[in-house]
Structure 1
Amino acid sequence: MASSLAARVARNETLSAAWGVWALLFGIGLLMVGNGLQSSLLGVRASTEDFGSTVTGLVMSGYFVGFLAGSTLTPRAVARVGHVRVFAALASLASMTILVHAVFVTPVVWGLMRLFTGFAYAGLYVVAESWLNDRASNELRGRLLSVYMIVTFMGLGGGQALLNVASPSTPDLFILISVIVSFAVVPILLSATRQPDSDAPDPLSLRQLYRITPLGTLGCFATGIVNGTIFGMGAVYARMSGLSVAEVSVFMGVLIAGGAVLQWPIGKLSDIMDRRKVITGTALAAAALAALAVPVADISRIGFMAIAAGIGGTALTLYSLFLAYANDHLEPRQMVAASSGLVLVGGLGAVLGPSTTGWVMGRVGAEGFLWYLCVVHAGIALFALYRMTRREAPSGDDQVSYVVVPTRTTPMGTAWTDEVSGENEEAPAGG
């Protein structure tokens, strides 16, 4: 009875806190709808325009180059002119760049616009997440992060569904994205009653980070490759495989849904056993599913979509696992500094993912997308097995609790996650 009452109170407190920041969550959800729709739309349209897989991969990589720059430079701009001005300027940039895609359908212009888009979205996430972080109390921050993740995945999935609203060959969907992004500004700006702390964390050198946690560092790099491949080239692969526009939206939707559903159970499993074993098993499952999807794609469309959900559920879970594993070996005072390094490493991998995947697909065909995912995940599993021979697993008291993080977390967003981990460090709970 007491535990049931405590759970009910905790749920009510979480709902109350979420309602207090509904405008921020609503705005973030709209941003994710726009971003999810945009990535799939550009992949489909690039395939229609015969850009070629290699060129398309380079174009899509531009987003992650811009994302790295935006996540690094935005905190400095916020410190100079404030959250409101930076957010409004970046939203305008994101709204404008997608319209340029519709006017100038050429790889060079698209590559440049993808760079600007990545810069804008990274900055928008930094500002929005720091606002949300500032509004959450220490006691509710972890639970509010879970709500934030639900909104994030719902937004990404909703964006895929909107791909069916109009033909990708017309400007309609480009205009729709611009409207969605522009509207996302309204609730967030109206909710800004005070400025949060805008201090950026001091960086930790990548060499030091690797020495502390080789598996965590290289794992974040490899999952960056995977995430860049899935979100940058997933729609391109689907179109090259002969899927209709509606089927492309379903394919991308089930990938994201799989990631949303399996994040929590896999993460909690990693809290109660050697996290490296969970990482190894998850990576091997992703590799096996990617390989299995190659023949199944020609046999059963339903079976293929089910496997795609499994690929998303395993592949999109690994980043959070690696972040938790890295935190297992960090002192609380190091976590915020290390988070920026891990995001940087993941971002570098995300830049590499679409371009290399496009090159592979150009050589072996559409199935190169799946084989590339298979090889990367197999490499992750092998390195995790190797590291298990080099270091003992941390004890239960030294292992921090798993926290779900978005696949496109910015340094400030990860700093928020690390604050949650830091709180768990103070009162270990079987992590």
Structure 2
Amino acid sequence: MFAAIVSVWALLVGISLLMMGSGLQGSLLGVRASVEDFSALMTGVVMSSYYAGFVLGSVVTPRLISRVGHIRVFGALASIASAIALMHAVFVEPIVWSALRVLTGFCYIGLFIVAESWINDRSTNENRGQLLSIYMMVMTGAMATGPLLLNLGRTTGYDLFILASVLVSVGLVPVALTTYSAPKFEEQERFSLRKLYSISPLGVAGALINGATAGALVWLAAVYGRSIGMDIEDISIFTAASIVGGTILVWPIGRLSDRYDRRLILTGVALVGGVSASIAAIAIAPSPVAQMCAVAVVGGLTMPLYSLAVAHTNDHLQPKQMVAASSGLLLANGIGGMAGPAIAGGAMQFLGPAGYFWFPAAAIFALGGFALFRMTRSAAVPSEEQRDFVQLPRTSGISARLALRNQMDRDIAQMSRR
């Protein structure tokens, strides 16, 4: 484990600082938008814009890397992202913020692609699983830490925007000073969404709904907290809970999906998640602690949907098709992210704060209904033929390649023992 960490320590430190900056910036924008009297709908549009840049960057960044290399792309994008964080404090206008969020999403997907390319290049058969687990822990921990930094300054001033910018800038330093050679560039094969949907309709739907609900829960958490009267400390913990909650139930849900029909597990998760979100919407608890528990539960039941969607799709693919399919599912997830916060913001504007929970409830119920419909249209994949469930970050397809290579290594090892 120690050797695996040493091999990519610079990237792990850099990406943790970048994710803290991203988590702080997203939460800060939600609070500041409320202070500046942005409507909930407009705030949702601002937050959705991040995913527009995310999708665009997933297409453009590989071309940039092929031309100038990983380190130059990482440095350029980190510098731009740092400057953009400061620009939010200078131009406090919804339209300007939307444009800046597009650029932010573009920069961050590029940074993820570079970081995950490096980790993929440094991995071996012996440490691949360890590296993926470490990377996931760093990503989640840093993203959840970001909102807690709201307590270090004034949300109405420049302080926290400067802090977000500093975190992004400093995150560049370990990578710029690393002595490791840059990885070789590998162009990713892609599936069209139409082709992918023809293979696994439920997989595409699951990735889409996960993007919509996860984006809404995380990026509008601060808006919801402020609308029900939480102070900054409570808002920061509430937002962190929406992120951490997503990791709590991943393992048990994954284990169940490996033993039973994934469609049945997905339906059950959707039903329980939808009911939980509905209860949270109907009975808005006066206690901040109760609110934090509610968002952690809803997050815990919605965040694993992406990994479930990937696992279900892989059950219908040949091993050589899986990496290309993961890129298609990531695109569907990004499209969902473009829609989710905007729709949830509209729901909050017309239904009040409860709309924050009503949107994921409706979306997850719809996914559960679609899963039941698909169960009537095709037979289940036998559990012994299912691919192993693997928790995946919703960043770039390269992390999926790393996970799938690890899974195929395990499959080969198991076959050799027989």
User: How does the TM-score come out when normalised to structure 2?
Assistant: 0.96
Match of 1:270 among 246, 257, 266: 257
1:410 to 396, 408, 412: 396
Give, in whole Å, the separation in 1 of the partners of 2:343 and 2:283.
24
Query: Post-superposition shift, 1:374?
Result: 0.5
Does 2:184 match 1:197? yes
What's the CA shift for 1:269? 2.0
1:235 equivalent to 2:200? Answer no
8 Å Cα contact 1:289/1:311 also seen in 2:
yes
What does residue 267 of structure 2 align with? 280
Q: Alpha carbons of 1:391 and 1:426: their partners in 2 closer, same or farther (altered >3 Å)?
A: farther
Q: Is the 8 A contact 1:204 1:340 kept in 2?
A: yes
The one-letter amino acid paired with 2:395 is: T
Q: Which residue of 2 aligns with 1:80?
A: 67
The alpha-carbon deviation at position 95 of structure 1 amounts to 0.1
Q: Give the CA deviation at 1:107.
A: 0.8
SS, match of residue 275 in structure 2: helix
What 5-or-longer segments of structure 2 have no aligned partner? none
The code of the aligned residue for 1:161 comes to: L
Q: Which residue of 1 aligns with 2:365?
A: 378
Aligned to 1:303: 290
Distance, in Å, in 2 between the alignment partners of 1:176 and 1:401 is 41
- C-alpha distance in 2, partners of 1:75/1:283? 35
Verify the 8 A CA contact 1:270 1:278 in the aligned structure 2: yes
Post-superposition Cα deviations, 1:135-176, rounded to whole Å, max 9, x if no partner, equal 111232122211111111110111111011111111000000
Q: 1:428 to 1:232 in 2, by over 3 A?
A: farther
Offset, 1:424: 4.0
| Residue aligning to 1:3 | none
- Aligned-residue offset at 1:197: 2.5
Mapping of residues 59-98 of structure 1, within 5 Å: 59-98=46-85
Instruction: Measure the CA separation in 1 of the matches of 2:409 and 2:192.
Output: 24
Aligned residue runs from structure 1 range 23-102, under 5 A? 23-102=10-89
What is the CA RMSD across the aligned residues, in angstroms?
A: 1.5
**2:151 is the alignment partner of 1:164:** yes
Q: Show the counterpart of 1:348.
A: 335
SS of aligned partner of 2:187: coil
Tell me by how many angstroms 1:15 deviates: 2.9
Identify the range of structure 1 (255-264 vs 86-95) with the bigger mean alpha-carbon deviation: 255-264
Quick one: which of 251, 254, 269 aligns to 2:238?
A: 251
Counterpart amino acid of 2:402?
W
Q: Which amino acid aligns with 1:423?
A: D
Q: Any runs of at least 4 consecutive aligned residues in structure 1 with deviations exceeding 6 A, and if so which?
A: none
1:302, distance to aligned residue in structure 2 (A):
2.4
Query: Could you say which residue in structure 1 is the equivalent of 2:347?
Result: 360
2:207–2:332 CA contact under 8 A, matched in 1: yes
* Alignment deviations for residues 94-145 of structure 1 (CA, whole Å, 9 cap, x no partner): 0000100011111111111101100000100000111011111123212221
Deviates more, 1:50-59 or 1:233-242: 233-242
**Following the alignment from structure 2 to structure 1, what is the Cα–Cα distance between the partners of residues 412 and 373?**
31
Give 1:93 shift: 0.6
3-state SS of paired residue (2:378) = coil
How many residues are paired up? 415
Question: What is the 5 A alignment of 1:383-398?
Answer: 383-398=370-385
C-alpha separation in 2, matches of 1:38 and 1:32: 10
- Which one-letter code corresponds to 1:196 in the other structure? P
Q: 1:241 to 1:299 in 2, by over 3 A?
A: closer
- Contact 1:200–1:412 (8 Å) recurs in 2: no
Unmatched 5+ stretches in structure 1: 1-13
Contact 1:400 1:428 in 2 (8 A): no
Whole-Å Cα distance in 2 between the matches of residues 378 and 139 of structure 1? Answer: 41
User: In 1, are the aligned partners of 2:211 and 2:334 still within 8 Å (CA)?
Assistant: yes
Task: Give the match's secondary structure for 2:186.
Answer: coil
Partner of 2:406: 420
Q: Which amino acid aligns with 1:136?
A: S
Counterpart-to-counterpart distance in 2, 1:192 and 1:69: 31
* Identical-residue share of aligned pairs (%): 46
Contact conserved, 1:259 with 1:315, CA < 8 A, in 2?
Answer: yes
Q: What SS class does the counterpart of residue 392 from structure 1 fall into? A: coil
2:317 corresponds to which residue? 330
Offset of residue 40 of structure 1: 0.6
Conserved 8 A contact 2:71-2:175: no
Moved more, 386-395 or 155-164: 386-395
Task: Report how far residue 84 of structure 1 moved.
Answer: 0.7
Q: Deviations over 1:18-75 (max 9, x none)?
A: 2322221111111111111111110110011011111111111111000111111111
Structure 2 residue identity aligned to 1:388: M
Whole-Å separation in 1 of the counterparts to 2:337 and 2:220 = 11
| Cα distance change on mapping 1:428 and 1:322 into 2, 3 Å | farther
- Secondary structure, aligned partner of 1:105: coil
What is the aligned partner in structure 2 of residue 399 from structure 1? Answer: 386
The AA in structure 2 aligned to 1:128 is A
The normalised TM-score by structure 1 is 0.93
